[in-house]
Structure formats: structure tokens, C-alpha cells
Structure 1
Amino acid sequence: MNVSSENIRATRVEGTEVRNSAGEHLGSVNDLVIGKRDGKVKYAIMSFGGFLGIGEEYHPLPWEKLTYDERQGSYVVDLSKDQLEGAPRYAREREFDWGDTESTRRINDYYGVPPYI
């Protein structure tokens, strides 16, 4: 499938490295959350920590907080490792409930973005 350079297939986004603005590796994109009605990407789920999938945590990052660095082929988020430690997350064993408006509000509040409607 031929996709223009401004677009990317979701399967190519998954696994892409996420770094902070200091260049430190934070994790990688594990999944994307897409709005059912508008079809827009709302969140990138970043996997963080763990070893071979054990102890790994998942951090929902509002999509608008990520920028793509073409030079490095990775996404960049303005977030330190300490800030990431305090960010909303869930464990691999427990699926996040995207229908829980309180949980999604906490994510958006933490990152300072307005709620998605």
C-alpha cells in the first residue's frame, strides 16, 4: 500500500520509539486509541519499563503531545522520566477502560490538554 509521506499506517506507528526532548528513550508506541465517530487518533499507548513484557506499564499519551522526529524516526514528547513516573498508567494485566470519563479526564488534566469530545 502506497501512503504519502504525510501519512503513516497504524501498523508502522506501533513499535516506534518514544523519546523525551532531551533525547532519552522513554518507551515505544504499543497501540493507538482512535475516536469511533471522527476517526482521529486520540492517544498513543506507550509501553514503558519491564523486561521481555514482564512488569511493563502502559502510559496513554494524548496524541497532540507527540511530534515526529524524521531524523531519528521516533516520536518526541516533552516529558522527563520523573514526570512519566507520575503519569496515569495501567499494568499489562489490566485493560484500561476507555469508557470511564473520569480516567480519561485525569489523563488529559495531567498533560494539560482539553478533553476529547
Structure 2
Amino acid sequence: MGDTLERETHRLISSDKVEGTAVYNPRKEKLGSIANVMIDKKSGQCEYAVMEFGGLFGIGSDHYPIPWDMLTYDTDVGGYVVDIAKDRLTGAPRYARDQVPEYTDSYGRSIYGYYGLAYPML
């Protein structure tokens, strides 16, 4: 599909490069990686990063949708940083990798509400 320069610019990144990118907490401890992203069909805005946690903290490898605005790209670690405490992840909305839920407004409100954020009105 071409080299890295064709798929990434200073400001933009190809979705295939986002998938698999490591996710860290603010202390630079790896939490997991991005399994995929969920993009609003009409606005084109990325709404969620779905993170896969591979057995950390006894969680297993379920998928955790995290509001995209909670992530910050950190060039020093070459990945995304999210400020979520470990104990907060144990009760976070999640699903088994083979049981993708319907991303309805109701489901979205539950995710955003869990993290104390207002659900976006697109």
C-alpha cells in the first residue's frame, strides 16, 4: 500500500496505522492497544477508540470503547495516552471481541457517562 510517508502526514494518520498502536497511562505504562476506531458516518468524526487489553489487571482481552477525545498522541512513546486509573477500567463498558454491540445513542451515552463526559450531539 505504499510506504509510511504515503499513509501518514504531519497532522494526519491512516486508520491502518492507528489500529495496533499502543495505549499508555500518564505514567507511560502500557495498557493495551487500539483494536479499531469508530467513525460517525455522516460527520466523519472519530468517536471512539476501541482498545484491546491483553490480560492486564485480570481483565483479559475484551474490547473497551473509549471516547476519542480522551486520547492524546504522545510522540515520545509513539502511542496514545489516556488518563484512566487502572481500577476504573475494571468496571468500564466493554465487550468480547467477537460480540460487537450496536453503537446506538443509548450505548454511546452509557460510555460517555461512565467517563463523566457529555455525549456529543452530532
What's the TM-score once normalised by structure 1's chain length?
0.89
1:17 equivalent in structure 2: 22
CA RMSD of aligned residues (A): 1.6
2:33 paired with 1:28? yes
Q: Tell me by how many angstroms 1:38 deviates.
A: 0.6
Aligned residues: 113
Amino acid at match of 1:78: D
What's the TM-score once normalised by structure 2's chain length?
0.85
1:2 and 1:74, CA in 2 relative to 1: closer, same or farther beyond 3 A?
closer
**CA–CA separation in structure 2 for the residues paired with 1:111 and 1:69:** 21
Q: Tell me by how many angstroms 1:62 deviates.
A: 0.4
Q: Tell me by how many angstroms 1:33 deviates.
A: 0.3
Structure 1: runs of 5 or more not aligned:
none
2:98 to 93, 97, 100: 93
1:38 to 23, 35, 43: 43
**CA–CA separation in structure 2 for the residues paired with 1:15 and 1:8:** 13
1:73 equivalent in structure 2: 78
**CA–CA separation in structure 2 for the residues paired with 1:25 and 1:79:** 12
Contact 2:38/2:50 (<8 A) preserved:
yes
Secondary structure of 1:38's match? coil
Moved over 2 A (4+): 1-4
**CA–CA separation in structure 2 for the residues paired with 1:89 and 1:15:** 18
Amino acid at match of 1:69: D
1:109 equivalent in structure 2: 113
Secondary structure of 1:91's match? coil
Q: Tell me by how many angstroms 1:2 deviates.
A: 5.4
Greater share of strand residues, 1 or 2? 1
**CA–CA separation in structure 1 for the residues paired with 2:81 and 2:64:** 14
Q: Percent identity?
A: 42
Greater share of helix residues, 1 or 2? 2
Structure 2: runs of 5 or more not aligned:
1-5
Q: Tell me by how many angstroms 1:104 deviates.
A: 1.2
